[in-house]
Structure 1
Amino acid sequence: MLTLIQVLNKSAARLSGLHPAVLAAATTLIERCYACGVPILITQGLRTIAEQDALYAQGRTKPGAIVTNARGGYSYHNYGLAVDFALLLPNGSSVSWDMNRDGDSDCTADWLEVVQQAKAIGFEWGGDWTSFKDYPHFQLSFGLTLAALRTGKKPAAAAVEAVYERIKLKEEQTVKSEITAAVKVNGVKIAEGMMVNGITYAPVRVIAEALGAQVGYNSATKTVDIISSGLKGAGS
C-alpha cells in the first residue's frame, strides 16, 4: 500500500504553479481522500494559454475527441485556480476515471467520495455544470469571472483568506469528530477503527476474516456479501 507521502509526491509536479490557496486546498484534498481509503492523482493543474488552445483544437482541427469547450484564457486552469484528478489504482502507477469504481468496498463510489471531500473544502465541481460537464474538474474562482481574470484581476485577500479558513475549519472538525479505536476479536487486536460522531468504522474484510468468514463485493448490486463458515452449504 502506498504511503501518504508517496501519493502526495506523485501529484507534486502537477501542483506547481497553482495559486497558493488552491495548492493548499488540493493538497488537503489528496490527504483527506487518502484518509478515506481513496488515493487520487492530480492529473492537471496550471495550464498555459498555448496548452489550452491545443486542447481546444482536439476534436475540432486536430484528431481526437472534444474534451473542452474553453479556448485559451477561458479556463480557470490558465490562472492556476483549477485542478483535474483521477483515481490512483493500488499498483501506484495506473489511474482510473471509472466513476462507479468502489475500490475501498464501502458501498460508495470512490469518485463520489472525492467530490464530497472537495466540496467540503470549498471547491466547485465541473460535474455540477449544466452545459459541458467536466467530471474530473475542481476549481476555486474566489468570486472572479473568467472575464475579470482576463483583464488581469487577482483574487482578493479576503476571498483567499476565506479558503484558508475553510480548510482550517474542515481539519478542526475532523480532529474533533474522529477518534481512533482498537478493534479486537477474542482479545486480539485485528484493526485500527475510527469513531466518527459516536459510530465506529472498521474494515469489513479484516473483521470478517478474523471471524472465519469470506467477503465478496457485487459491483452490479453494490452489495458487500459476508459468508460465514458455519453457513457454507446450508442450502444444499
Structure 2
Amino acid sequence: MPTLDEVNNKSAARLNGLNPAVRAGTVALIQRSYEKGVPIVITQGLRTIAEQNALYAQGRTKPGPIVTHARGGTSYHNYGLAVDFALLLPDGRSVSWDMNRDGDKDTRSDWQEVIQEAKKLGFDWGGDWSSFKDYSHLQMDFGLSTKQLQAGMRPTAQQVNNALRRIDGGDDEVNKDIKVTVTLNGKKLTDGVLDSDTAYVPVRALAEALGAKVTYDAKTKSVHIVKE
C-alpha cells in the first residue's frame, strides 16, 4: 500500500479552491480512511462553470454516458463545496469505483467505510439522494441551495468555523437525519436518531420504562441511573 504522504500527494492539486471547511474535511477524510486501511484519491474538487457545462454535454450533445444532471452554476462543485472520490488501489496508480470492494479484508465494504467517516466529518453523500444518485460525491452545502449560491450567497464565517470545529473534534454533534422508533416488548417507548450505526435515545424514557430512576448532577455533568 502507498504511504500516507503518497496518498495525500495524489489529491493535493484537487483541493485548491475548496471552501476551507470542505478542504479540511477532505484532508481529514483521506487520513481517516487511510488509517482504516482504505486509501482514497480525490478525483474532482472545484469545477469551473465551463467545465460543468462540458460535463453536462456528455451523453447529450457529446459522446459518452450521462454523468450529471447539473448545468454550469447548479453544482456545488462550482462553488468549492463538493468533492468526488475513488478508491486508490495497492499499486498506488489505479483507482476503483467498486462499492463492494473489501481491499482491507475486514468484511466491510471499503466504500461504506469511507462514507461513514465522511458523514462523521459533516459531509452529505450523493448516494443518499432520492433521484439521481452520485455515489462518489460528497458535499457541505451549509443549508444553501444552488440558486442561492448563484445569487451570490455564501456560507457565513460562523458556519465555516462550526464545521471546522466539528472536523477538529471539538463538536460531537449527532447527525439527526435518520429517525428511529424505540420499542419495549413491542410497544413504542420513545423516538431517537441513528448516527453511524449508533442509536441515540432519551435516557430518562428508557431508564424509567425499565423501572429505574434518573437524576442529573449539573455540577459534575453526570447522569445517575438507579434501579432498586
TM-score normalised over the length of structure 2:
0.74
Instruction: Give the helix-richer structure, 1 or 2.
Output: 1
Query: Are the equivalent residues in 1 in contact too, given 2:43–2:86 (CA < 8 A)?
Result: yes
Aligned to 1:74: 74
Gap runs ≥5 in structure 1: 173-236
Aligned to 1:139: 139
SS of the residue corresponding to residue 41 of structure 2 reads strand
Q: Which amino acid aligns with 1:40?
A: I
Query: Are the equivalent residues in 2 in contact too, given 1:100–1:109 (CA < 8 A)?
Result: yes
Q: Which runs of 4+ in 1 moved over 3 A?
A: none
**For residues 23-102 of structure 1, what are the structure 2 equivalents within 5 Å?**
23-102=23-102
Aligned to 2:3: 3
Query: Cα distance, 1:165 vs. partner?
Result: 1.1
Aligned to 1:184: none
Q: Which amino acid aligns with 2:97?
A: W
SS of the residue corresponding to residue 165 of structure 1 reads helix
SS of the residue corresponding to residue 158 of structure 1 reads helix
Instruction: Indicate whether 1:107 and 2:107 are aligned.
Output: yes
Residues in 2 aligned to 1:170 and 1:131: alpha-carbon distance in whole angstroms? 34
Residues in 2 aligned to 1:7 and 1:80: alpha-carbon distance in whole angstroms? 21
Q: Which amino acid aligns with 2:157?
A: A
Residues in 1 aligned to 2:35 and 2:163: alpha-carbon distance in whole angstroms? 21
**For residues 192-231 of structure 1, what are the structure 2 equivalents within 5 Å?**
none
Residues in 1 aligned to 2:124 and 2:24: alpha-carbon distance in whole angstroms? 15
SS of the residue corresponding to residue 135 of structure 1 reads coil
Query: Are the equivalent residues in 1 in contact too, given 2:42–2:85 (CA < 8 A)?
Result: yes
SS of the residue corresponding to residue 169 of structure 1 reads coil
Query: Are the equivalent residues in 1 in contact too, given 2:81–2:141 (CA < 8 A)?
Result: yes
Query: Cα distance, 1:19 vs. partner?
Result: 1.0
Query: Cα distance, 1:143 vs. partner?
Result: 1.3
Residues in 1 aligned to 2:48 and 2:22: alpha-carbon distance in whole angstroms? 17
TM-score normalised over the length of structure 1:
0.71
Residues in 1 aligned to 2:142 and 2:9: alpha-carbon distance in whole angstroms? 27
Query: Cα distance, 1:104 vs. partner?
Result: 0.1
Query: Cα distance, 1:124 vs. partner?
Result: 0.3
Q: Which amino acid aligns with 2:68?
A: T
Aligned to 2:161: 161
Instruction: Indicate whether 1:18 and 2:13 are aligned.
Output: no
SS of the residue corresponding to residue 42 of structure 1 reads strand
Query: Are the equivalent residues in 1 in contact too, given 2:43–2:84 (CA < 8 A)?
Result: yes
Residues in 2 aligned to 1:86 and 1:132: alpha-carbon distance in whole angstroms? 19
Residues in 2 aligned to 1:41 and 1:171: alpha-carbon distance in whole angstroms? 26
RMSD across aligned positions (CA): 1.3
Residues in 1 aligned to 2:49 and 2:148: alpha-carbon distance in whole angstroms? 16
SS of the residue corresponding to residue 117 of structure 1 reads helix
SS of the residue corresponding to residue 127 of structure 2 reads helix
